[in-house]
Structure 1
């Protein structure tokens, strides 16, 4: 499932991905609602992932604090550092994923925008195989109420993902087609 969805994502082409990223960013802001003084954790786009930079700009303009994840170590939850608009990003870790500077303040997010390879319409996702977001969401949700929204292209959808005991469900899914809620949030739904 993962390789098929990622092949569909790659086949979109740069221009289509850029346009879809802009549309998804507008849907994400609407789905999140009032973000003033909330901390929203994004991910820096890696390879041909959906571009989160347009969403970062919208969130900052709406009064949110924006954070990025940091991989601390294998089998450990992520930590999050504040990412201000003028902060340069630098590749870090084994995957060379762009992150905030090491001296950026650590924060605990209120909302997480989660990367993924594949999703379905009941809140299941397949990531990239290391389990970082499942561990992180489990820890955060044991401490406070945290919302988690998948952000990807519509072509990454599949009919059904077999759930595993460690899988943390999403509260909603955002694509260029709209927002699909998996729990009592009010927003536009993806077409069926």
Structure 2
């Protein structure tokens, strides 16, 4: 089994290659667009893409445009805490968070998403559950655990390329990892 840091570095390189492949990227774009088309009025938390992450923003904006009961939220990071979410449109005032990633400026009215879409370095299908491999900060895991503890029914979705799938023998979920409800992959 590779060390987790080596696995993450390898997955980052795989994602970068996949994201540069126009056919793979277009296929994933079509699957994500299809996912959005199935959604009704709700609040969907997406992410601000970094390091070759698939960019959901245009698809999410298109889904929410002209529908006042559809909202998009972005994560707001407080170091080592669960994520909070701020509503986002193209005109939302933004600032750099502690990790240099753009996030909405929110003073107190945080959004409560119905769906959280998370980027993946990798993903795995083990024991009839879907798992996300991230950068190792635990932000999404803490957030999903918090929502489960508060019994807020949130759907968790990962976005990744098929090339990022990790076999069970190469990685196993740890105790703190939270299973996802769905992986959108192509």
Matched, 1:155 2:159: no
Which stretch of the first structure deviates more once superposed, 12-21 or 49-58? 12-21
Matching residue of 2:33? 26
RMSD: 2.1
Cα deviations across residues 128-171 of structure 1 (Å, max 9, x unaligned)? 01101110000012221111000122221112230211111000
Cα deviations across residues 116-138 of structure 1 (Å, max 9, x unaligned)? 21101230121101101110000
**Number of matched pairs:** 171
Which stretch of the first structure deviates more once superposed, 158-167 or 84-93? 84-93
Gaps of 5+ in 2: 1-6
Gaps of 5+ in 1: 178-192
User: Structure 1 length normalisation: TM-score?
Assistant: 0.79
Displaced runs of 4 or more, over 4 A: none
Change (3 A) 1:44 1:24: farther
Using the TM superposition, give the Cα deviation of residue 85 of structure 1 relative to its aligned residue in structure 2, in angstroms. 3.0
2:135 to 123, 128, 150: 128
CA distance in 2, matches of 1:73, 1:13: 28
CA distance in 2, matches of 1:34, 1:10: 29
User: Structure 2 length normalisation: TM-score?
Assistant: 0.82
Matching residue of 2:83? 78
Change (3 A) 1:21 1:98: farther
Change (3 A) 1:120 1:13: closer
Matching residue of 2:16? 10
Using the TM superposition, give the Cα deviation of residue 42 of structure 1 relative to its aligned residue in structure 2, in angstroms. 0.4
Using the TM superposition, give the Cα deviation of residue 102 of structure 1 relative to its aligned residue in structure 2, in angstroms. 3.3
